Structure 1
Amino acid sequence: MSTDLAKAYEPKDVETRWYTYWTENNVFAASDAPDDTRPTYVLPMPPPNVTGSLHMGHALFCTIEDILSRYHRMTGHNTLWQPGTDHAGIATQLVVERLLQREGTSRHDLGREKFIERVWQWRVQAGDRILEQQRVLGVSADWSRSKFTMDPDLSRAVSEAFVRLHREGLIYRDTRLIYWDCEARTVLSNLEVENEPANGELFEFAYPLEDGTGEIVVATTRPETMLGDTAVAIHPDDERYKALHGKRVRHPFVDRLIPIITDAELVDPKFGTGAVKVTPAHDFNDFATGKRHKLEEISILNPDGTINAIGGDFAGMDRFAARKAVKKALDEKGLARGTKPHQLVLPRSERNNSIVEPMISTQWFVRTAPLAEPALAAVREGKTRIIPEEWSKTYEHWMSNILDWCISRQLWWGHRIPAFHCSGCAHITVTTDESPKACETCGSTDIHQDEDVLDTWFSSALWPFSTLGWPNDTLALKRFYPASDLETGYDILFFWVARMMMMGIHFMGEPPFKRILLHGLVVDETGEKMSKVKGNVIDPLDLIHGATFEQVVEKALPGAPLQEALKKFKKAYPSTAQMGEGFAAYGADALRFTLATYSPQAKRIPLSPKKIEGNRNFCNKIWNATRFALTYLEGARVGATAPPATLLANRWILSRLSAVAAASRTGIDDFRLDDASLGLYHFFWGELCDWFLELTKPVFADRTSAAAIETRDVLAYTLEAALRLLHPFVPFITEELWHRLPRPESPPLSLGLAHFPDDTVAPRDAAAERDMAVVQAIIGAARSVRSEHEVHPGAEVPLTLRTDDAELRALLTSQSVAIRTLVKSAGDPTIGPREAERPRGAVMSVAAGVEVLVALVGLVEGHKEAARIEREIKKAEKDIAALEKKLALPSFADKAPPEVVAESHAQLTALRDKRAGLEHARKIAAELD
């Protein structure tokens, strides 16, 4: 046992040292040993993008999952927290392409093979930076099993899954309308598109009728798409256009006649002009209309978002430049009919925020309906639970209305589609063979592999079993599939979670998880989503290691003037106004504990830096409490069970230890980490430090007494168990302190491998808790009198306790030393029946059925006390008068809700009681001089 603790906790001195110790001693490793019969706990980590760096969302999921993993390790589970990174197809390719652009070249200049080599070079240089940052947070994943979605074994699993699904008819190739990202030059799935409300305009223009007899006016928010129009639609029942049924209009810019069609599904005759331009190749509603009417599908865009040759004079223009040019040209032809403001929705790429375009394209798709039904059944039947339960309804709705999944991407970085096109017969050979020699249909050797790669989410959908060796029948797969829990943000329920459910059941025959735990979104202190546009981003490492506000806002709002950035940042985080010049080095534990105190099930988690500062103080409290306790623990022995206890305080703290252990387990098991963490906070700071440690001080005055020896052993046992309870939440400081405490014989290498306490850690003692509550109430009442009357902290006060209950008097007598010490009374309190004489100048309070009288003679100046009381009486009378007036108003008494009226009456009663007490105190004040 070491007692040489520094006066204050310095996280930087502790965190790196212990993380190195944990990894060197394989504390986080799951076991593959055939004879390991422990129950398993498996948690697949959502693989962060290899391009990424730590942000507050990562800090949240790392904290939550680390608590779950450490807890289950301590409860005797063979725990696998499976780490890894995702190759992030679009994001990574964009990063490397921008690097090439700075060098004056491009991927097309390099060619596919050289470009892929360059991406791998970047991958080696960049390394797994985010995984290193996760270590700073204390992430206890089994790093020896870390996977990358482009590892050879995972690539083989992806190829195998694609081939099997294709053979089963669940993957097919088709030409459809898709979302196209013009910046990344690839298709996106509908889930990768975020619809953003925006202010726009509705531009109206006229199509002249073919016969020259008039015109029909249409409206659009994207005028450039009229270059691809192949119809004008009207409602069949619209009387205004009855004469135009079957007629055609002439396109003003290209040699094309466009039919006027009737369509009740597309057209709302009450909206706009009641006539709608139809562009099947660039609008999802128009695409469906085109299929119904067998319209031509004319694409007007190149992959980079410029107008193609079909656009005639507008060819080569960027789509947004073409929008202006088309409007101008229509105006010059006398066909423009004005604009009006219009609220619209802009589809943006979730990857790069660029506006995406609906386009006709030939792509690979997964037929999802057959896969979704078993995934739906798994949740309906309770094989997989979603927590919070409310997300089950969202999952049900989405999976019941699921669209086929577009899985091909026009990128070079990623898993290339294992399909080979025959130049002879046009057959597509789908195979796991990386270099097939010939077409499987005609035998031609003139075959070439599909140019596209798979959607990143396709490989991620296999994560729960591909990381365990599938398609091989490995021991790891048998032991660790299915996972116990999946914990992730609700925002990727469909991107990732639903797809893992579909793939897991399809390939493994059972759901990949028993529970799906969904956490909310970390937002700023005012509830706004974090973004660099708003300047409210916080780097978790700045909170851990410390940073000035200037350094923080340089990351939050890069390139902005300092004062502007600071103003935005402090508006987003009002509590920072009380925090000086920046963030101190709060350490990983303080950040983790703060994140754990928010309900993980809340949709929005408003981060407060001030709260992190408060939890740094909590870490200091843990440190200083242990430092204090160590001075008294020499010779203490900690056994496997609680030491015998006879003293009330000792029985009480052991009982409270049992209660908090049970509550902690329940909180973690039920995914209510906030309940568990706040319960531990209250126990350690409120009960162990503020009460028990204070109660031990008079006992330790004679360290050789039987009471001191009992108290020493109880303190050692309770503190050691408390550190075990706290460890999943604050692993660094608890590991450091645990190694300095008396511990049971043959302790494990790490606190992380010690037993997590349950309610058997100590006997629950209802009588001790009841009696201690009385003592606490009396001490609290006496302290309140001292505080209210501004008695000097160093002064001792005469204390009298009166009750007619003989048992209570006996209890108070037995606890007189504790009461005297914590109240700071002048000698032991006088204890007697209620008829006992009231001491001169004594203020009385009643607590737990006991009259608590604190004599203030000589401690408070009577005239000053009388003046203070008069001010309080006047304020109380003013408040009473206001409430009486309010309650006398018929408009309030008759019309206000009954509960509001009742609350007002209760407030009035309380104020009258307060006035009566003050009037009594005024009489006592006269006795003080």
Structure 2
Amino acid sequence: MSAELNQNYDPKEVESKWYKAWEKKGSFEGNVQNGKDSFAIMIPPPNVTGILHMGHVLDNTLQDIFIRRARVEGKSSLWFPGTDHASIATQHKVEKALRDEGTSRYELGREKFLERAWEWSDEHGGIIFNQLRKLGASCDWRRSRFTMDTAYQRSVQASFVEFYNRGYIYRGKRLVNWCPASQTALSNEEVEMRPQRGKLYKMRYEIVEEPGRFVEISTTRPETIMGDTGVAVHPNDERYADLVGKHCWRPFPRAEIPVVADRSVEKEFGTGVLKVTPAHDQVDFDIGKRHDLPLIDVMNPDGTLNELAGEEFDGMERFKARKFAVQKLEELGLLIDAEDYDNSVGFSERGGVPIEPRLSEQWYLKYPKVEEAKRAVEKGIIRFHPKRWEKVYLHWLNNIQDWCISRQLWWGQRIPVWYAKGADRSDSANWHVSVDGPSDPENWEQDEDVLDTWASSNLWPFATFGWPIEDQKVKAELDYFYPTSMLVTGFDIIFFWVARMIMSGLELMGESKEGLTDEEIAQRIPFKDIFIHGLIRDAKGRKMSKSLGNSPDPLDLIAKFGADGLRFGIINIAPSGSDILFAEERIEIGRNFCTKLWNACRFRQMAGGAAEGQSLEAIIDRLAGSQLEGYGNWILFRLLQTMEEIEGQFARFEMHQLTHSLHNFLWGDFCDWYVEAAKAMLQSKDDPRHDAALAVSDLVIRQSLLLLHPIMPHITEELWQAMGYSVDGEFLQDAGLLPAAQLRELLNAKSVSIDAEGARQIELIKELITQARATKAEYNVASKRDVTLFVTPTDDSCATLIEANLDTIKRLAGAASIELVEAVENLPGSVSALGTVYLDLSSAVDVEAEKERLSKELEKLTKAIQAGEGKLNNPSFVDKAPPQVVEGVRKQLLETKARRDEIARLLKSL
């Protein structure tokens, strides 16, 4: 039912009202609807401890745009929400709270600790969902999943069992990223590389077979000397060829260690000699394996040194041990030098401390269906947008290594492996692997570890439905919505999440089978399209963070600009796949666009004859048989063009271009041109063109609201209802958006023909008006409406077209009169395709006053040019000033000279 619009748009009231109405009606529910195309998106699950930040705003706005577009196109659409338990992040927060209470997880015990973790998750888990509601996210909230829900945990453990039974999971002792603070293995994604200034220590080891001869070695980690079991040189390094096969003395604890030749040694780094510590460095570990060197682990899980490091070091913190090792080298006369050294060091993202490569027994997954995962992208079965991210994805798959999936944590899905009590755990014959555990639990002990968070989220597209599924209704839902339509995510987790979901889907969504066909791949993949967006940075290109104070609170921005304003603004500045430079003033365009749209609809209401409850067909019926005047024909032509543009932009995933097209059409074409040109028709009911102009306005506004709805859902719903376009109280999303081609057919069927040549003629008239406005602006009379313009038409047909539109041209150009003449001399003008338009200066400006103003400006510009040339001719300035400053002066000088020449031209014309 239509309603009179308030003078001003209040986003707070409108957004809250409609979101509640949509939820109450079940507008976001995705259900199986046979005969309808399905469209599904799985939300990248935010951490249960998370709160809304600008990255979420971008990511979820993009998803909402796609899901709402699918709804207005009539598809059965499902946006599946959920949160991730974020095992290490959540455990870190809970452990910090326990430390503040003077206790620890070990004092509480596993069961009590997990109770506290659940309390924490329950308290914080719904915060981000409520914030997403404020953004307008249209998720099917009744389906919300949490990766620690009982059903989801069973899915994760079932995947472990399935992978194990298919031969992909094994247990092994290897080097892992180790966080001494959290005392767990970490994935590469959880390691943050930070630039550090440290020391490069040059020391010398004595040759055992040649007393008094030393080999010089450079290292950044003298605290691991005690774990050295070899020294390595490059086989082609002639400096050390005679040492290969001999031995060095390790300084402490003193021991003979062999000199080996290995191609992984960088001859140019340091001295070209490497101390090999296989238990504390990945490169060294690989060298040790190739040369059968022993492994000596000298470090405890908490980052202190153990008894294998020697009595002096036992129990010492690792960085204190570094200083002590340097001191001992100096005392032994083995330290040559210590120079400043800049390098990147891996830090535990959550623990905030440097990680340690540590030898540890862990569970590993050999990635399944790697070749099929590559083929899916190479053959276009899965498509990346932008396409360039395919290379990143394929590069990682071509260099893939087995995945350490176990974590030494308590919060997470516990590994479903039990060991026979008292038996050898290294023997798999003593293992029981199942979801439910052994039938005689008293004789077994479950593995203490939990699975890596990514080992649960990699099942997200199908575990959310309860895979493996026995319930037929749920299976029908999975069959209907899987594979999902698309994934929207950032490029930073292509490896850690996107690729893993693809491989897991290919392996688990069907029977175990080698060598899938393309058809089978298409049935098993988790999604068909992957839309990769960039990261949001501040205006200086810096990553947003609380510590820098450059990360705005999205809720503050919603309060200031409205959710729709924020959504439009953030997409408008987000080029496909590239980082986004955020500045608050760049978001204002969204709020301003809301205001412009609101005012355009208010103007249409004030023109009368509201389209109460009129469908698209009813509005077109009002146009049937009418002869469209020039601007009416042109704006409908532009409407169809814009619809086709947007269809192409969705197909090409060009979301920021989508906002530009809509802004250009609604603000530029409709408000600034059509409404202004048609005001006389719209405001006078006696004008024979009045009814057709109202119908044209209704058709444009109605279709524009449908086009805009995915980006700005709240204001478009408010206007849809208020303008009377809703039939029987339907929501906008249920009205159905026809493709441009079908709308054109509907118009043709009602004899509403749209003439492309007529639209082209209006574009020519617009160009003439634009040139007239530009000429007025040059002489500071843009706002004057009593000027006289002269036009010399290009030819007779142009003269006819101008004369037919003379009243409109006068009104929009702001002229009291326009005269068509054959020639004009000594007047300023601008050229257009229809002809040249001149400004009658005698009617526009006080010539003497304008001469005086321009002369003064010319004098100022001349002095500025002299000053700039003086700087650039001064060797002291050019040689000593920073290059960017000198370049800035050069650029400013060129701009000032161009302005001077323009002012001189204007003076001459006067």
TM-score of the pair, normalised by structure 2: 0.87
Give yes or no for the alignment of 1:537 onto 2:551: yes
- Match 2:596 to one of 612, 621, 625: 621
Task: State how 1:506-521 maps to structure 2 within 5 Å.
Answer: 506-509=507-510, 510-521=524-535
Superposition deviation, residue 322 in structure 1: 1.2
Structure 1, unaligned runs of 5 or more: 440-444, 546-584, 883-906, 923-929
Instruction: Indicate the residue corresponding to 1:640 in structure 2.
Output: 616
Equivalent pair of 2:231/2:276 in contact (CA under 8 Å): yes
Task: State how 1:664-679 maps to structure 2 within 5 Å.
Answer: 664-679=646-661
Does the residue aligned with 1:141 lie in a helix, a strand or coil? coil
Give yes or no for the alignment of 1:12 onto 2:34: no
Q: Distance in 2 between matches of 1:878 and 1:333?
A: 73
Instruction: Indicate the residue corresponding to 1:28 in structure 2.
Output: 28
**Residue 775 to residue 858, structure 1, CA distance change in 2 (3 Å):** closer
Equivalent pair of 2:4/2:605 in contact (CA under 8 Å): no
Give yes or no for the alignment of 1:494 onto 2:469: no
Instruction: Indicate the residue corresponding to 1:332 in structure 2.
Output: 331
Q: Distance in 1 between matches of 2:903 and 2:431?
A: 92
Equivalent pair of 1:488/1:518 in contact (CA under 8 Å): yes
Q: Deviations over 1:55-86 (max 9, x none)?
A: 11111101111111111111111111111110
Give yes or no for the alignment of 1:589 onto 2:564: yes
**Residue 80 to residue 489, structure 1, CA distance change in 2 (3 Å):** same
Superposition deviation, residue 843 in structure 1: 5.2
Equivalent pair of 2:206/2:249 in contact (CA under 8 Å): yes
Moved more, 455-464 or 711-720: 711-720
Task: State how 1:494-893 maps to structure 2 within 5 Å.
Answer: 494-509=495-510, 510-545=524-559, 585-636=560-611, 638-641=614-617, 642=620, 643-644=623-624, 645-743=627-725, 745-746=727-728, 748-751=730-733, 754-755=736-737, 758-762=740-744, 764-791=754-781, 793=783, 795-803=785-793, 805-826=795-816, 829-830=818-819, 832=820, 834=822, 844-868=829-853
Q: Distance in 2 between matches of 1:515 and 1:728?
A: 19
Q: Deviations over 1:24-71 (max 9, x none)?
A: 1111111135xx311111111110111111111111101111111111
Superposition deviation, residue 727 in structure 1: 1.0
Equivalent pair of 2:161/2:435 in contact (CA under 8 Å): no
Q: Distance in 1 between matches of 2:813 and 2:575?
A: 40
Give yes or no for the alignment of 1:459 onto 2:456: yes
Superposition deviation, residue 512 in structure 1: 1.1
Give yes or no for the alignment of 1:297 onto 2:295: yes
Specify the code of the residue in structure 1 equivalent to 2:661: G
Q: Distance in 2 between matches of 1:189 and 1:53?
A: 23
Moved more, 375-384 or 4-13: 4-13
Instruction: Indicate the residue corresponding to 1:927 in structure 2.
Output: none
Equivalent pair of 2:32/2:76 in contact (CA under 8 Å): no
- Match 2:431 to one of 410, 429, 432: 429
**Residue 635 to residue 375, structure 1, CA distance change in 2 (3 Å):** closer
Equivalent pair of 1:50/1:85 in contact (CA under 8 Å): yes
Superposition deviation, residue 842 in structure 1: 6.6
Instruction: Indicate the residue corresponding to 1:186 in structure 2.
Output: 184
Instruction: Indicate the residue corresponding to 1:277 in structure 2.
Output: 275
Specify the code of the residue in structure 2 equivalent to 1:331: E
Q: Deviations over 1:427-458 (max 9, x none)?
A: 3434334231349xxxxx53100000001101
Instruction: Indicate the residue corresponding to 2:879 in structure 1.
Output: none
- The number of equivalent residue pairs is 846
Specify the code of the residue in structure 1 equivalent to 2:822: R
Q: Distance in 2 between matches of 1:395 and 1:237?
A: 35
Specify the code of the residue in structure 2 equivalent to 1:783: R
Q: Distance in 2 between matches of 1:204 and 1:167?
A: 51
Superposition deviation, residue 598 in structure 1: 3.0
Regions of 4+ moved over 6 Å: 871-882, 909-917
Superposition deviation, residue 147 in structure 1: 0.8
| Greater RCO, CA 8 A, separation 6+ | 2
Superposition deviation, residue 590 in structure 1: 1.6
Does the residue aligned with 1:337 lie in a helix, a strand or coil? strand
Does the residue aligned with 2:663 lie in a helix, a strand or coil? helix
Equivalent pair of 1:487/1:516 in contact (CA under 8 Å): yes
Q: Distance in 2 between matches of 1:40 and 1:498?
A: 24
Superposition deviation, residue 871 in structure 1: 6.8
**Residue 843 to residue 666, structure 1, CA distance change in 2 (3 Å):** same
Moved more, 619-628 or 98-107: 619-628
- Match 2:376 to one of 378, 402, 409: 378
Task: State how 1:222-371 maps to structure 2 within 5 Å.
Answer: 222-235=221-234, 241=240, 244-254=243-253, 256-311=254-309, 312-368=311-367, 370-371=368-369
Specify the code of the residue in structure 1 equivalent to 2:482: Y
**Residue 880 to residue 537, structure 1, CA distance change in 2 (3 Å):** closer
Moved more, 262-271 or 50-59: 262-271
Task: State how 1:66-81 maps to structure 2 within 5 Å.
Answer: 66-81=64-79
Q: Distance in 2 between matches of 1:776 and 1:404?
A: 64
Query: RMSD of the TM alignment (CA)?
Result: 3.0
**Residue 617 to residue 315, structure 1, CA distance change in 2 (3 Å):** same
Specify the code of the residue in structure 2 equivalent to 1:459: S
Does the residue aligned with 2:167 lie in a helix, a strand or coil? coil
Does the residue aligned with 1:706 lie in a helix, a strand or coil? coil
Superposition deviation, residue 299 in structure 1: 1.0
**Residue 239 to residue 61, structure 1, CA distance change in 2 (3 Å):** closer
Superposition deviation, residue 639 in structure 1: 4.3
Q: Distance in 1 between matches of 2:635 and 2:504?
A: 51
Equivalent pair of 2:415/2:449 in contact (CA under 8 Å): yes
Specify the code of the residue in structure 2 equivalent to 1:821: R
**Residue 242 to residue 263, structure 1, CA distance change in 2 (3 Å):** closer
Superposition deviation, residue 117 in structure 1: 1.2
Specify the code of the residue in structure 1 equivalent to 2:535: L
Superposition deviation, residue 782 in structure 1: 2.7
Superposition deviation, residue 911 in structure 1: 10
Moved more, 858-867 or 309-318: 858-867
Superposition deviation, residue 347 in structure 1: 1.5
Equivalent pair of 2:265/2:272 in contact (CA under 8 Å): yes
Superposition deviation, residue 463 in structure 1: 0.6
Aligned residues with identical type, % of pairs? 41
Equivalent pair of 2:185/2:408 in contact (CA under 8 Å): yes
Specify the code of the residue in structure 1 equivalent to 2:616: A
Structure 2, unaligned runs of 5 or more: 511-523, 745-752, 868-894
**Residue 639 to residue 272, structure 1, CA distance change in 2 (3 Å):** closer
Does the residue aligned with 1:700 lie in a helix, a strand or coil? helix
**Residue 879 to residue 321, structure 1, CA distance change in 2 (3 Å):** closer
Equivalent pair of 1:229/1:258 in contact (CA under 8 Å): no
Superposition deviation, residue 683 in structure 1: 0.7
Superposition deviation, residue 723 in structure 1: 1.3
Instruction: Indicate the residue corresponding to 1:577 in structure 2.
Output: none
Q: Distance in 1 between matches of 2:829 and 2:268?
A: 78
Does the residue aligned with 2:607 lie in a helix, a strand or coil? coil
Superposition deviation, residue 720 in structure 1: 1.5
Superposition deviation, residue 145 in structure 1: 1.3
